[in-house]
Amino acid sequence: MRWYSGSAENQVPNSRIWGFDEIKTLVEKKDPEEKVILVDVREPYELLDTGKIPGAINIPITSAVQSFHISDEDFEDMYGYARPPKDASLVFYCKAGVRAKAAAGLAQHAGWESVGEYPGSWLDWDKNKGPVEVVKQGKKDN
């Protein structure tokens, strides 16, 4: 496990870096007491094509960059589920890690203190044959 200190260029300050094994353990454990939420920031069509990491919620960062700055009510109207609480740890992933880093920064700016990134993101998950949750059109992720 690594933490960014914020002193290095192109890093989100205080963002925890997660690896495949840590994400896989998180997915397999599913401890209801642990407030760690996986957030897939890819666009919905990408999830239809590939599936997602089991249990992840989808907040598409490219088409809905405002998602972390809108009201709780607007968020729920937009996604069909409650916005993750600010005391939760959010772990972001995308296809290759670039959007995940951006989303971690946006979440911090909006008030989430515990954020993390899975830099390998979907490409690493798929390469390592992590379990996949199929996403069907019209299904709300939660």
| Active-site residue list | 94
52, β-bridge pairs? 133
**100: closest CA among 119, 85, 86, 82?**
119
Residue type, 8: A
Residues 6+ apart with CB under 8 A from 45: none
CA distance to 2, 18, 121, per residue, from 15 (Å): 9, 9, 15
